[in-house]
Every structure is written in structure tokens, then in C-alpha cells.
Amino acid sequence: MKIRDVHFLTSSPRPSLFPDHGLPEFAFLGRSNVGKSSLINMLMNRHDLVKTGSRPGMTQTVNFFVLNDAISIADLPGYGYAKVPMEIRKGFLPLIKSYIQKRGNLRLVFFLVDIRRTPDDRERELLSLITRQRIPVVLTVTKSDKVPPGRRRDRLRAIAESLDVDAGALFLTSALKGTGKRELLGLIREFADGERPGP
């Protein structure tokens, strides 16, 4: 898919402020520092669309972008950042959960996992929330370049096992090397053209 234009639309701190444009939407979700901003920038051919390496602030928002005037991209807040006080950290998940439960135009969730980390209970809980809603998920393994090729297979197996899926279901990406770009953009186009499966 050719990226003709991509622009920031709005930042929404609560569901009532999510934009009501009805465009097919693609969400990116993962723990803080998973490489979400870098991946979105890589896919959109931009270095600076989403600020990378930034520490999460105290205000958690869903950031919306519009691609080619036809596709919506939702950047969900990175969860699990240890240095954010617990009281504020607790606020992230309700926002993410209500997004997943209420967003009728959501076509696909890119669920990001760092190749060096094995998902924990919270990630499993979030993933099962998404699959219970029958929203298609792409299990996206980030930063593949951080692990030598000979060790990647073991990491994929460990991640797959912890999420109770087949290792073949994982998509390997690297924002640094551009790995997975064509495949992920292909999925966005395919799911933007299709209908969301009914409940």
C-alpha cells in the first residue's frame, strides 16, 4: 500500500472524545517501550509522526492519525511503565479496555511484543479481551534485530507458548531494518477493504 498522506487527527483522553469518523481503524497496542512509536513511524514512512523513546506522561491518551484520507490509525497508550506511579498506571488499562470494547470501526489490533520479553499475565489478559470481542489480532514481535538470527526461533517459541498460540502466528518486525513493513501494510489494506466480522 502506498502512503500518500498521513496526519495527526486528535488525542483523546477518554472514550467520549474518540473521533466519530467511522473510517476503518487499526490499533497499535503494547507495553511501554515495546517499540510501538518506531513501528508506526516505520510503517508510515515518517521519522517523527509519533515521538519515540519518550517516557509516558501522566495524561494517557489514544492518539489518532488518518492515512490516505481513508484509514484511521489509533496509537493506544503504552502500559506497564514502571516509573509511572501506580495510581496513574491503573488508569491506563480502563482506557485501553473501553477502547477495545466500544470501538465499532476497529478492524484489526496489532498486539506488540518485544522479542526479548516473554508476555506476562496482563498481556495475556488484554489479548484474551480482544479475542473475546472477536477482533482480529496480529501478534507483532518487535525489535527482531536485537536478537541474533540463530536465537530468534527460540524466542518466538517462548512468546508463542506464553500466549498459547502457534509460533507461525507471530509476525516478526524490526523498525530499524524495515522488517515486516510490506506484510503489515498489506494486512491494513486487506482489512480496510473487508467488513468487520459480526459478533
* Sites of contact with ligand GDP (CB under 6 A): 30, 32-38, 52-53, 78, 142-143, 145-146, 174-176
Residue pair 50/41 in contact by the 8 Å Cβ criterion: yes
State the residue for C-alpha cell 498521513. Answer: 6
- Evaluate whether 76 touches 99 at the Cβ level (below 8 Å): yes
Rounded least distance, CB 190 to ligand GDP, Å: 23
The residue among 105 and 145 lying less far from ligand GDP, judged by its C-beta, is 145
CA atoms within 13 A on the CB side of 52: 15
Of the pair 72, 174, the CB lying nearest ligand GDP is at 174
- Nearest distance from residue 126's CB to ligand GDP, in Å? 15
Q: Which residues have a Cβ under 8 Å from the Cβ of 76 and sit 6 or more positions away?
A: 27, 28, 29, 62, 95, 96, 99
Output the smallest distance, CB 107 to ligand GDP, in A. 21
Q: Which residue, 140 or 142, has its beta carbon nearer to ligand GDP? A: 142
Q: Minimum distance between the CB of residue 100 and ligand GDP, rounded to whole angstroms?
A: 18
- CA 73 remoteness from chain centre: 9
88 or 196, CB closer to ligand GDP? 88
